[in-house]
Amino acid sequence: MSRIVAGRFENPLAADAALADLQRAGFRNGEYESFYVTPPGQHGAHPIGGDSHSDAGARTAGLGAVAGAVLGALAGAIVAAVATGGEQIIPVLLAAGLCAYVGSFMGTVLKLRRAHATEHTPEHPVEIPAGRMIAVNVDRPEMEPRAVDVLRRHGAIDLGRAEGTWRDGSWRDFDPRHPLHA
């Protein structure tokens, strides 16, 4: 396993400047690379797309959908029954069905939220945001502080360390679903 220092950049010009500075700091070609990290949920880790089977911020969305559907159906049925005088069943059923549909949508949306970093698990990762990433292999002695200095000086965000497989100038087992260690 190789020791790796990596940082994300929001500004592509700053990333380009960091790459040039890495070479001036004594890093050889093949000891650093630049790549783009796609937005969370778009890494294609599953056959049908996405990164995981579910999301930490959506854990209670199913409960919200059920509650919204039940409340919507009741409200729709009551309003339609009052409006028709309770004599016609078809408008009551249609209103209950339509309001259950709208209620389930509203209940789902109201229960969705952003995941917190403390909720990080393999199935519900809290991922790094999208952006250009620069990774540097720091296996040679005294290279880690140089890499950290160069990346920090050029405005790297989410700067961190990791261990991984570095082969042919590339971090082969990089997984954007796992945050870097500070």
The larger pLDDT score, comparing residue 86 to residue 116, is at 86
* pLDDT band of 97, cuts 50, 70, 90: very high
Query: In the prediction, which pLDDT does 156 show?
Result: 95
43, pLDDT greater than 60? no
Relative to beta strand 32-37, strand 166-167 is: unpaired
Rounded to two decimals, the pTM is 0.61
Query: In the prediction, which pLDDT does 112 show?
Result: 84
Fold of 2-47+129-171: Alpha-Beta Plaits (3.30.70)
Query: In the prediction, which pLDDT does 181 show?
Result: 81
Residue 43: beta bridge partners?
none
DSSP state of 42: -
Look-up: residue for tokens 């069943």? Answer: 89
Query: With pLDDT > 90 as the criterion, what percentage of the chain qualifies?
Result: 68
Query: What average pLDDT does this structure show over 83-97?
Result: 93
The larger pLDDT score, comparing residue 49 to residue 166, is at 166
82, pLDDT greater than 90? yes
DSSP per position, 58-107: GTTHHHHHHHHHHHHHHHHHHHHHHHHTT--HHHHHHHHHHHHHHHHHHH
124, pLDDT greater than 60? no
Query: In the prediction, which pLDDT does 2 show?
Result: 95
Q: Where are the domains of the chain?
A: 2-47+129-171, 56-114
pLDDT in tens, 155-178: 999 899 999 999 999 999 998 877
135, pLDDT greater than 60? yes
